[in-house]
Amino acid sequence: MSWTLRTADLDDLARGAALLGTGGGGDPFVGKMLVTQALGEAGEITILDPAELDDDAWVIPVAQMGAPTVVVEKMPRGTEPELALITLEKHTGRTADATMPMECGGINSMIPLLVAARRGLPVVDADGMGRAFPQLEMETFSVYGISASPLAMANEHDEVAIFDTGSDNSRLEGLARGVTSRFGGMAHIAQYSMTGADVKRTAIPRTLSLALAIGRSIRLSREQRVDPVQALVDGLADTLYGYGRVLFHGKVIDVDRRTDEGFARGSVRIAGVGDEELEVQFQNENLIAVQSGAMVAIVPDLICIVEADTAEPITTEGLRYGQRVAVIGIATPPIMRTPEALAVFGPASFGLDRPFLPVETLEQPVLAE
């Protein structure tokens, strides 16, 4: 069922979206502030259930592209994603009936809301990842036959670019990444234009609703003095994700983070009880968790790092020495685990030499061969 988003919902939505962003997807505070300002003028936004979307409706997803570390120092002006959408509309000669997120994340679940508030559009309650990924071709849209081209890009100086690589979505990623670097490490994009029928076939449904529910659950558990981390894990059982568990508790003892080729790359080490350690490697998003040499979760399953006492999600750019954290593994939806999907965003796509094993099968860590 479609629903109405108001300013009072934004704290919970940003928190839940940041959790699903698995360390990436942008800073939730920045995303929330951008939408709060736009909603002050629009009042509310319609969140459209994908089942209620007309098959011939024209949907244009929008997002922010670049290394999340850049946004900490280079705040968006707020007009960039709308300009990207307008540029794509002019290029294609077709006007959007709705917009939609490309991924979950503190910013990238919010960017479509910003555009919707400014343009008077509904936002489809779905996305193409059910989490966050660092590259443009890593979408269920791409996996199941939607071209990422044409793509429109815009920056804070009102500079725009259009790319069209036909069906080669990987080539498009490389070209767009280069321009993003020239734009100063951050750009806003509109791409994967599709019909309502295509949305129903290729998107992961109701992820905005889920993010709102997760964020609300964390907040309410704090207010009720219930363990918010356990409440979060317990609440996943009745969702499309179906499974989650706490992988590790401990203190951050080392963060290796660098901005490289438009990505935030690195790793974090977390010390637990005794000699136990967990290392999480990331490329914008958390990719693999290894406990004392044994794998406990791997992409595309979600690896989420949260504050131990509050379950507040911590992005990769927010990791700091001394933080007390819990690491949570969450099963990704079935549409993300098909052979076609794993060929695009499975472990090998990130240069990892481990096979994909579902997090629910790794309750006993799997040692490296």
The pLDDT, as a whole number, for residue 368 is 43
The answer, as to whether pTM is greater than 0.95, is no
The model's confidence at residue 364, banded by pLDDT at 50, 70 and 90, is low
Rounded Cα–Cα distance for residues 91 and 97 (Å): 16
What digits encode the pLDDT tens for the residues 141-172?
999 999 999 999 999 999 999 999 999 999 99
The pLDDT, as a whole number, for residue 24 is 86
Rounded Cα–Cα distance for residues 78 and 98 (Å): 19
% of the chain beyond a pLDDT of 90: 81
The pLDDT, as a whole number, for residue 349 is 95
The pLDDT, as a whole number, for residue 365 is 54
The residues pairing with 151 across neighbouring beta strands, listed in sequence order, are: 163
Which residue type does 68 have? P
Residue 270 three-state SS: strand
Rounded Cα–Cα distance for residues 92 and 363 (Å): 49
Rounded Cα–Cα distance for residues 95 and 216 (Å): 34
Whether 222 shows a pLDDT value over 90: the answer reads yes
The pLDDT, as a whole number, for residue 73 is 74
Which DSSP category does 336 fall into? G
The model's confidence at residue 369, banded by pLDDT at 50, 70 and 90, is very low
Rounded Cα–Cα distance for residues 343 and 333 (Å): 16
What digits encode the pLDDT tens for the residues 23-74?
988 778 888 888 888 888 778 899 999 999 999 999 999 999 987 777 767 7
The pLDDT, as a whole number, for residue 121 is 97
Report how far apart the first and last C-alpha atoms of the chain are (Å, whole number). 48
What digits encode the pLDDT tens for the residues 105-150?
888 999 999 999 999 999 999 999 999 999 999 999 999 999 999 9
Is the Cβ–Cβ distance between 315 and 24 less than 8 Å?
yes
Mean pLDDT for the chain?
93
The pLDDT, as a whole number, for residue 259 is 81
What digits encode the pLDDT tens for the residues 262-303?
788 999 999 998 889 999 999 989 999 999 889 999 999 999
Place of tokens 């001394």: 322
The pLDDT, as a whole number, for residue 132 is 93
Rounded Cα–Cα distance for residues 228 and 223 (Å): 9
Cα 3 to Cα 37, 47, 102, 167, 212: the distances in Å are 20, 5, 20, 35, 12
Residue in 280, 98, 328 with CA at minimum distance from that of residue 198: 98
Number of residues that this document lists for the chain? 369
CA atoms within 13 A on the CB side of 316: 36
Buried b / exposed e over 66-99, threshold 16 CB at 10 Å, is: bbbbbbeeeebebbbbbbbbbbbbebbeeebbbb
Rounded Cα–Cα distance for residues 85 and 113 (Å): 13
Residue 45 in tokens: 């936004």
Q: Provide the pairing of β-strand 45-48 with 3-5.
A: antiparallel
Rounded to an integer, the average pLDDT of 313-340 is 95
Place of tokens 């609440």: 235
Is the Cβ–Cβ distance between 25 and 105 less than 8 Å?
yes
